[in-house]
Every structure is written in C-alpha cells, then in structure tokens.
Amino acid sequence: MKTKVPVMEDVSNDGMRDYHRRNKRKAALIVTGTALVLIAIVISTMMIGKYPLSFGEIVGMLTGTHYDDTDNYILFETRIPRILCCVLVGAALSCAGLVMQSLFKNPMASPSVLGISNGAAFGASLAIAFGVGSVFGGFAVPIMAFLFCCLTMVLVYVLGRTKYGVSPVTLLLAGVAVGAFFNGMVSLMQYVVEDDVLASIVYWTMGSFNGCGWTSFFTAAIPISIGLIMMMLCRRELNLISAGETQAANLGVDVKTIRIVLIVSTSLVVGGSVAISGVIGFVGLIVPHIFRMLAGSDHKLLMPLCILGGGAFMLVMDTISRMAFETALPVGVLTSLLGAPFFVYVMRKRSRDVWE
C-alpha cells in the first residue's frame, strides 16, 4: 500500500495541472478574442460616418503617408477622441457594475440601477447650472460628479444594510429610492434654470458622446484610470468577498478596508464617466453578466474582459445611435431600451444560474 500512495498523488497532481492548464488556455483564448473584437470595432468605427474613410486612408494618416486637411481633422479631432471616450466610459461602467454586483452580492446591481449615476448626474448638474464647485476650475464637473457618486453609494449601502447584513432586495429598493430622489432634484433644477442651461442638463441626462473631444478624454482618463487600477489590484480580495465576507475575513482579508477602496474606485470611474458622457444606463448590468456566462466568476479574468468588452459594447451602441437614425440618438436612450428587457431577463431567468 505504501508504494501506491505516491502514484495516486502523482495522478492527482497531474490531473490538477492539466485542469489549470486548460483553464489558462481558455482564459487566454477568451481575452485574446475579446481584444481582437475590440480592435476590429475600433477600426470599423474610424471608417464609418457621414464622411466615410477607407482603410487605406486611415492607415496612411496614421503612418504619415497620406495627408488631407479634411480627412486629418475628421480622424484625429473628431473620431479618435470620441472612440477613446467610448472605450473609456464603456470599460469604466462595466467594471463598476462587476464590482458592485460582487461587493453587494446582488446580480442586478449596477451604477444606473442603484441610483449611483443619478447622484453623479445631480452633482454634475449643480456644477453646470449654478457653478457649484467652481473653486476647482475646469475640473468642477468631474469633481462634483465624483463627490456625489461617493455620497450616493454610501447612502445606498447604509439604507440597504440591516442588522442581518446587506440584503439584495433592500439594497435594490434603497437604490431605487435614492436614484428617484436625485432624479427628482435634477428635474427640479431643470424647472428653475434658464433655457440654455436647461438644454444642456436635459441632453446631459440622456447620455451622449457628441461633445467629446481630447479635453473630455483627458478629463475623464485620470479618475477612471486610477479607479480601474484600484479595482484590478483588488481582484483576489473581490473573489473571496463575493463568496462571503465571513469566509474572506477568516482568510485574512481586511473586508472593511477593501470595501472602502472599492467604493472609492467605483465612485471614481462612474464620476469620470458621467462627467463627459452624462447618464448612460445598464452598461454595468449587461456586460458583466455576458462575461459571467461565458467565463465564470473569477474576477482575475472578468476584470480585463469587462474592460475590453465594455469598450467594444459602448462603441457598437454609439455607432448605432449615430448611424441608424437621421438625427443622432443619445446613446443613453439606446442602452436603456436594450437594458430594461435585459434587466427583466436577469431577474426572471438567469440570476440563479449565474450566481448559485
């Protein structure tokens, strides 16, 4: 018997090694495929528009072998900054939804569903309408959006927490209530401001990339990049917390600190997104669920997939909103029309399959 034990251990170890190798190959394949899809969509988006550009012209302008004033302006001053803003916001909202779903253990959590986007929109609207936060200069809108993002997220968490812990149902109800309150405040603001400011706020709440340029990209890139890096550094801890806070604490995770870090990082990415694009709903609900179904629940894999896939999803939505209608439709309207039925689908069919 003693001579058989090492053989059984070797077989078991070989099986585990094969299992991990297969998982790594599958993860690499999914990430590579998603990255290639994003690259293909980016190139296609550069070509598509009211003024179409050929692939050869784009390559020529990028390499410096083709120069035309009109073509260069369209590509470098209009399409590329808009594409970068779409990818940035899509990645930010997708990762924010992923983190919120795992942190609150609620499959229907997302910045829009829990009212976080509404709070950020209220903060940004205060800056637009009344100049609140003008001490921050040109960064008043993103900073006000971030501050109200933090306030809203903490408020929702406090209202949704009971003596038995955080209930998904009470958290969802708290988010709906807080979101409705801030939405009402934005509506009140629209009622009292001048017509020119009213138009800006209304268009802002619909969500659009029409005003995005290089300034918008660099304004949002700083808070979103910081937030995404913070999330990436917490992937292991998020895996443990999503399995249960008690188990995570027993394994050495400082749950309270990680929770604060993730709340701040989520506020950074949502605030940065709302600052340049307005309120775009349901991206943080749709994209994480798609990749959970495809790749499982490991955040070490889900986080990069949400960054790549969220950017691709937002680019597709923005392109459809620009090209499918005679007048460009705000992208937030399109994502809401798609996201509302998906929310019902997750609630009725998939939440048990994905989370249990």
Dump the DSSP string for 196-248. Answer: HHHHHHHHHHH---TT--HHHHHHHHHHHHHHHHHHHHTHHHHHHHHH-HHHH
Tens-digit pLDDT profile for residues 163-185: 776 666 787 788 889 999 998 99
Identify the pLDDT of residue 305.
95
Rounded Cα distance, 195 and 253, in Å: 52
Identify the pLDDT of residue 28.
86
Identify the pLDDT of residue 162.
77
Identify the pLDDT of residue 345.
77
Higher pLDDT, 303 or 274: 303
Question: pTM of the predicted model, to two decimals?
Answer: 0.86
Answer whether 309's CB lies under 8 Å from 291's CB: yes
Identify the pLDDT of residue 85.
96
What lies within 8 Å, CB to CB, of 108 at 6+ separation is 101, 168, 172, 285, 343, 346, 347, 351
% of the chain beyond a pLDDT of 90: 32
Mean pLDDT over 43-68 rounds to 89
Identify the pLDDT of residue 1.
47
What lies within 8 Å, CB to CB, of 42 at 6+ separation is 83, 87, 315
Tens-digit pLDDT profile for residues 122-140: 998 898 888 888 888 877 8
Identify the pLDDT of residue 10.
54
Mean pLDDT over 49-57 rounds to 89
Class of domain 84-355: mainly alpha
Tens-digit pLDDT profile for residues 282-318: 899 899 988 988 888 889 999 999 999 999 999 999 9
Rounded Cα distance, 37 and 102, in Å: 26
In terms of average pLDDT, the best of 80-89, 198-207, 240-249, 290-299 is 80-89
Question: In terms of Cα–Cα distance, which of 24, 44, 93, 49 is closest to 309?
Answer: 93
Residue 94 has pLDDT above 90, yes or no: yes
% of the chain beyond a pLDDT of 70: 91
Rounded Cα distance, 246 and 277, in Å: 38
Mean pLDDT over 203-207 rounds to 82
Identify the pLDDT of residue 58.
93
Residue 16 has pLDDT above 80, yes or no: no
Residue 352 has pLDDT above 70, yes or no: no
Higher pLDDT, 232 or 166: 232
Q: How far is C-alpha 93 from the geometric centre of its chain's CA atoms?
A: 1
- Domain borders along the chain are 84-355
| Helix, strand, coil % in the chain, rounded to nearest 5 | 80, 0, 20
